Amino acid sequence: MMTTPHIAILDDEPEIRRILSDALEEAGFRVTAFARATEFEAALNRATPDVCLVDLGLPDRDGLAVVHRLALESGAAIIIISGRAQVQDRVTGLELGADDYIIKPFEPAEVVARIRARLRKTRSDPPRTTPQTARFAQWRAEFDRYVLIHDQGSEVPFSHAEGEVLRMFLESPNRLISRAQMQQNFGGGAGESFDRAMDVRISRLRTKLGEDPKNPRLIKTIYGAGYIFLADVTWT
Protein backbone atom coordinates (compact mmCIF):
# COMPACT_ATOMS: atom_id res chain seq x y z
CA MET A 1 0.00 0.00 0.00
CA MET A 2 1.45 3.36 -1.06
CA THR A 3 1.73 5.96 1.69
CA THR A 4 0.75 9.59 1.14
CA PRO A 5 3.86 11.62 0.16
CA HIS A 6 4.95 14.10 2.80
CA ILE A 7 5.97 17.57 1.66
CA ALA A 8 7.79 19.98 4.00
CA ILE A 9 7.66 23.73 3.35
CA LEU A 10 10.25 26.13 4.81
CA ASP A 11 9.31 29.74 4.10
CA ASP A 12 9.02 32.71 6.47
CA GLU A 13 6.16 34.33 4.50
CA PRO A 14 2.77 33.22 5.93
CA GLU A 15 0.94 33.82 2.64
CA ILE A 16 3.39 31.67 0.70
CA ARG A 17 3.03 28.88 3.25
CA ARG A 18 -0.76 29.12 3.00
CA ILE A 19 -0.84 29.10 -0.82
CA LEU A 20 1.53 26.15 -1.05
CA SER A 21 -0.16 24.19 1.74
CA ASP A 22 -3.61 24.65 0.19
CA ALA A 23 -2.45 23.61 -3.28
CA LEU A 24 -0.51 20.60 -2.07
CA GLU A 25 -3.21 19.34 0.28
CA GLU A 26 -5.78 19.69 -2.50
CA ALA A 27 -3.45 17.61 -4.69
CA GLY A 28 -3.49 14.85 -2.06
CA PHE A 29 -0.17 15.43 -0.30
CA ARG A 30 0.50 15.52 3.43
CA VAL A 31 2.01 18.91 4.26
CA THR A 32 4.00 20.36 7.14
CA ALA A 33 5.01 24.04 7.00
CA PHE A 34 7.72 25.88 8.93
CA ALA A 35 8.65 29.56 9.24
CA ARG A 36 12.11 29.07 10.73
CA ALA A 37 15.02 26.81 9.87
CA THR A 38 15.53 25.73 13.48
CA GLU A 39 11.99 24.30 13.67
CA PHE A 40 12.37 22.69 10.25
CA GLU A 41 15.67 20.99 11.10
CA ALA A 42 14.36 19.78 14.47
CA ALA A 43 11.45 18.11 12.68
CA LEU A 44 13.84 16.46 10.21
CA ASN A 45 15.52 14.70 13.12
CA ARG A 46 12.23 12.92 13.76
CA ALA A 47 11.18 12.10 10.20
CA THR A 48 12.40 12.83 6.67
CA PRO A 49 9.85 14.22 4.19
CA ASP A 50 9.71 13.00 0.62
CA VAL A 51 10.19 16.51 -0.78
CA CYS A 52 11.40 19.72 0.88
CA LEU A 53 10.44 23.15 -0.50
CA VAL A 54 13.01 25.64 0.79
CA ASP A 55 13.08 29.42 0.56
CA LEU A 56 16.52 31.06 0.58
CA GLY A 57 15.61 34.24 2.47
CA LEU A 58 15.17 32.89 5.99
CA PRO A 59 15.26 34.95 9.22
CA ASP A 60 17.43 32.59 11.27
CA ARG A 61 19.64 30.69 8.82
CA ASP A 62 21.20 31.00 5.37
CA GLY A 63 18.83 29.11 3.08
CA LEU A 64 21.69 27.82 0.95
CA ALA A 65 23.31 26.32 4.04
CA VAL A 66 20.04 24.54 4.81
CA VAL A 67 19.92 23.19 1.25
CA HIS A 68 23.50 21.96 1.44
CA ARG A 69 22.93 20.18 4.75
CA LEU A 70 19.75 18.58 3.43
CA ALA A 71 21.56 17.34 0.34
CA LEU A 72 24.34 15.74 2.36
CA GLU A 73 22.36 14.35 5.28
CA SER A 74 18.92 13.38 3.98
CA GLY A 75 17.44 11.42 1.12
CA ALA A 76 14.71 13.98 0.51
CA ALA A 77 14.29 15.68 -2.84
CA ILE A 78 14.98 19.42 -2.54
CA ILE A 79 13.20 22.17 -4.48
CA ILE A 80 14.25 25.76 -3.86
CA ILE A 81 11.44 28.34 -4.09
CA SER A 82 12.94 31.81 -4.04
CA GLY A 83 12.56 35.36 -5.26
CA ARG A 84 16.24 35.36 -6.21
CA ALA A 85 16.07 35.20 -9.99
CA GLN A 86 19.73 35.73 -10.90
CA VAL A 87 21.40 32.94 -12.84
CA GLN A 88 24.19 32.72 -10.24
CA ASP A 89 21.67 32.13 -7.46
CA ARG A 90 20.12 29.25 -9.41
CA VAL A 91 23.52 27.79 -10.25
CA THR A 92 24.68 28.00 -6.63
CA GLY A 93 21.50 26.31 -5.37
CA LEU A 94 21.89 23.46 -7.83
CA GLU A 95 25.59 23.13 -7.08
CA LEU A 96 24.83 22.76 -3.37
CA GLY A 97 22.49 19.85 -4.04
CA ALA A 98 19.02 21.15 -4.91
CA ASP A 99 17.06 19.05 -7.39
CA ASP A 100 15.07 21.96 -8.81
CA TYR A 101 14.70 25.75 -8.54
CA ILE A 102 11.40 27.65 -8.84
CA ILE A 103 11.37 31.46 -8.96
CA LYS A 104 8.75 33.52 -7.13
CA PRO A 105 6.11 34.50 -8.05
CA PHE A 106 5.01 31.04 -9.11
CA GLU A 107 1.89 29.19 -10.17
CA PRO A 108 0.88 26.64 -7.48
CA ALA A 109 -0.03 24.17 -10.22
CA GLU A 110 3.55 24.28 -11.49
CA VAL A 111 4.91 23.53 -8.02
CA VAL A 112 2.57 20.54 -7.75
CA ALA A 113 3.69 19.31 -11.18
CA ARG A 114 7.39 19.65 -10.30
CA ILE A 115 6.86 17.73 -7.06
CA ARG A 116 5.02 14.94 -8.86
CA ALA A 117 7.88 14.71 -11.36
CA ARG A 118 10.41 14.33 -8.53
CA LEU A 119 8.29 11.68 -6.82
CA ARG A 120 7.95 9.71 -10.06
CA LYS A 121 11.74 9.74 -10.36
CA THR A 122 12.18 8.64 -6.74
CA ARG A 123 9.78 5.73 -7.17
CA SER A 124 11.66 4.60 -10.28
CA ASP A 125 14.99 4.54 -8.41
CA PRO A 126 16.43 1.04 -7.80
CA PRO A 127 15.21 -0.46 -4.51
CA ARG A 128 17.59 -0.82 -1.61
CA THR A 129 17.83 -4.57 -2.28
CA THR A 130 19.96 -3.78 -5.34
CA PRO A 131 23.73 -3.29 -4.95
CA GLN A 132 24.61 0.01 -3.28
CA THR A 133 28.39 0.02 -3.87
CA ALA A 134 30.16 0.43 -7.20
CA ARG A 135 33.88 0.23 -7.97
CA PHE A 136 35.40 2.10 -10.91
CA ALA A 137 38.82 3.52 -11.76
CA GLN A 138 40.39 4.37 -8.36
CA TRP A 139 37.07 4.97 -6.65
CA ARG A 140 34.33 3.22 -4.71
CA ALA A 141 30.87 4.84 -4.62
CA GLU A 142 28.74 3.93 -1.61
CA PHE A 143 25.18 5.02 -2.32
CA ASP A 144 23.84 4.04 1.08
CA ARG A 145 26.21 6.60 2.65
CA TYR A 146 26.38 9.11 -0.25
CA VAL A 147 30.18 9.02 -0.30
CA LEU A 148 33.01 8.45 -2.77
CA ILE A 149 36.07 6.64 -1.36
CA HIS A 150 39.41 6.82 -3.14
CA ASP A 151 41.82 3.88 -3.11
CA GLN A 152 44.19 6.01 -1.03
CA GLY A 153 41.52 6.36 1.66
CA SER A 154 40.14 9.86 1.17
CA GLU A 155 36.36 10.27 1.33
CA VAL A 156 34.29 12.77 -0.65
CA PRO A 157 30.56 13.17 0.12
CA PHE A 158 28.08 13.70 -2.68
CA SER A 159 24.54 15.00 -2.62
CA HIS A 160 21.31 13.17 -3.41
CA ALA A 161 21.06 15.04 -6.72
CA GLU A 162 24.67 14.27 -7.65
CA GLY A 163 24.12 10.65 -6.67
CA GLU A 164 21.25 10.31 -9.13
CA VAL A 165 23.51 11.38 -11.99
CA LEU A 166 26.43 9.27 -10.79
CA ARG A 167 24.25 6.14 -10.54
CA MET A 168 22.94 6.77 -14.06
CA PHE A 169 26.51 6.81 -15.40
CA LEU A 170 27.64 3.80 -13.37
CA GLU A 171 24.67 1.72 -14.53
CA SER A 172 25.41 2.50 -18.20
CA PRO A 173 29.21 2.72 -18.50
CA ASN A 174 30.85 3.18 -21.90
CA ARG A 175 27.51 4.07 -23.49
CA LEU A 176 26.25 7.38 -24.82
CA ILE A 177 23.59 8.95 -22.59
CA SER A 178 21.67 11.62 -24.46
CA ARG A 179 20.01 14.72 -23.07
CA ALA A 180 16.65 13.19 -23.96
CA GLN A 181 17.46 10.07 -21.91
CA MET A 182 18.51 12.22 -18.97
CA GLN A 183 15.29 14.20 -19.18
CA GLN A 184 13.29 10.97 -19.19
CA ASN A 185 15.26 9.52 -16.27
CA PHE A 186 14.95 12.59 -14.05
CA GLY A 187 11.47 13.75 -14.97
CA GLY A 188 12.63 17.23 -15.87
CA GLY A 189 11.11 19.61 -18.37
CA ALA A 190 12.94 20.25 -21.58
CA GLY A 191 14.79 23.54 -21.83
CA GLU A 192 17.69 25.59 -20.62
CA SER A 193 16.84 25.23 -16.92
CA PHE A 194 16.97 21.42 -17.02
CA ASP A 195 20.13 21.38 -19.15
CA ARG A 196 21.83 23.80 -16.76
CA ALA A 197 20.87 21.67 -13.76
CA MET A 198 22.44 18.60 -15.37
CA ASP A 199 25.56 20.52 -16.37
CA VAL A 200 26.00 21.74 -12.79
CA ARG A 201 25.65 18.25 -11.29
CA ILE A 202 28.09 16.77 -13.80
CA SER A 203 30.58 19.58 -13.18
CA ARG A 204 30.35 18.93 -9.43
CA LEU A 205 30.91 15.20 -9.94
CA ARG A 206 33.95 15.85 -12.12
CA THR A 207 35.42 18.05 -9.40
CA LYS A 208 34.82 15.43 -6.72
CA LEU A 209 36.40 12.76 -8.91
CA GLY A 210 39.50 14.94 -9.41
CA GLU A 211 38.85 15.40 -13.11
CA ASP A 212 40.63 17.98 -15.26
CA PRO A 213 37.71 20.19 -16.39
CA LYS A 214 39.41 20.83 -19.76
CA ASN A 215 40.14 17.16 -20.40
CA PRO A 216 38.04 14.86 -18.18
CA ARG A 217 38.92 11.17 -18.32
CA LEU A 218 35.80 9.61 -16.82
CA ILE A 219 32.81 11.77 -17.75
CA LYS A 220 33.29 12.79 -21.39
CA THR A 221 31.07 15.33 -23.13
CA ILE A 222 30.00 14.39 -26.66
CA TYR A 223 28.98 17.79 -27.97
CA GLY A 224 25.54 17.83 -29.49
CA ALA A 225 24.84 14.28 -28.30
CA GLY A 226 25.29 13.81 -24.54
CA TYR A 227 27.80 12.16 -22.21
CA ILE A 228 29.76 8.91 -21.89
CA PHE A 229 31.18 7.48 -18.65
CA LEU A 230 34.48 5.85 -19.63
CA ALA A 231 35.30 3.23 -17.01
CA ASP A 232 34.64 -0.39 -16.18
CA VAL A 233 32.22 -0.66 -13.27
CA THR A 234 31.76 -3.50 -10.76
CA TRP A 235 28.77 -3.52 -8.41
CA THR A 236 28.89 -5.27 -5.05
12 vs 3, more confident: 12
Q: Do 84 and 172 belong to one domain?
A: no
Statement to judge: residues 80 and 142 lie in one domain? no
Lowest-confidence region among 46-50, 94-98, 120-124, 188-192: 188-192
Question: 101 and 16 share a domain?
Answer: yes
Are 26 and 107 in a shared domain? yes
| Residue 105: cis peptide before it, omega within 30 degrees of 0 | yes
Rg (CA), the chain: 18
pLDDT in tens, 56-80: 999 999 999 999 888 877 778 899 9
| pLDDT higher than threshold 50 for residue 174 | yes
Of 70, 86, 121, the domain-final residue = 121
In a domain, 35, yes or no: yes
How many domains does the chain fold into?
Answer: 2
* pLDDT of residue 146 exceeding 50: yes
Average confidence score pLDDT of the chain? 88
In a domain, 128, yes or no: no
Same structural domain, 21 and 62: yes
With 90 as the cut, is the pLDDT of residue 213 above it?
no
Same domain, 168 and 205: yes
What's the whole-number mean pLDDT along residues 6-24? 97
Task: Return the pLDDT at 187.
Answer: 62
Give the model's pLDDT for residue 71.
82
Does residue 146 or residue 51 have the better pLDDT? 51
Residue 177 lies in a domain: yes
Do the domain assignments include residue 224?
Answer: yes
In a domain, 1, yes or no: no
Q: What is the mean pLDDT of residues 144-148?
A: 88
Same domain (yes/no): 108, 168: no
Q: Is residue 126 part of a domain?
A: no
For 78-115, write each residue's pLDDT tens digit. 999 999 988 888 888 887 888 889 999 999 999 999 99
Same domain? 17 vs 116: yes
Least confident of 44-53, 86-95, 109-118, 193-202: 193-202
In this structure, what CATH number is given to the domain that contains residue 49?
3.40.50.2300
pLDDT exceeds 50 at position 1: no
Q: Do 102 and 25 share a structural domain?
A: yes
**pLDDT tier at 155 (50, 70, 90 boundaries)?**
very high
More confident residue, 110 or 125: 110
- Identify whether 127 is part of a domain: no
* pLDDT score recorded for residue 221: 92
0.75 exceeded by pTM: no
Residues 225 and 176 sit within 8 Å (Cβ to Cβ): yes
The pLDDT value given to residue 2: 56
DSSP letter string, the chain: -PPPPEEEEE-S-HHHHHHHHHHHHHTT-EEEEESSHHHHHHHHTT---SEEEE-SB-SSSBHHHHHHHHHHH---EEEEEES---HHHHHHHHHTT-SEEEESS--HHHHHHHHHHHHHHHHHSPPTTS--EEEETTEEEETTTTEEEETTS-EEE--HHHHHHHHHHHHSTTSEEEHHHHHHHHTPPSSHHHHHHHHHHHHHHHHHTT--TTS-SSEEEETTTEEEE-S-EEE-
Within a domain: residue 64?
yes
Which residue range is the domain that position 222 belongs to?
Answer: 133-235
The answer on 29 and 69 residing in a single domain is: yes
The domain that contains 195 carries what CATH number? 1.10.10.10
CA dihedral over 111, 19, 35, 30, signed as positive or negative: negative
- Is residue 83 domain-shared with residue 171, that is, in the same domain? no
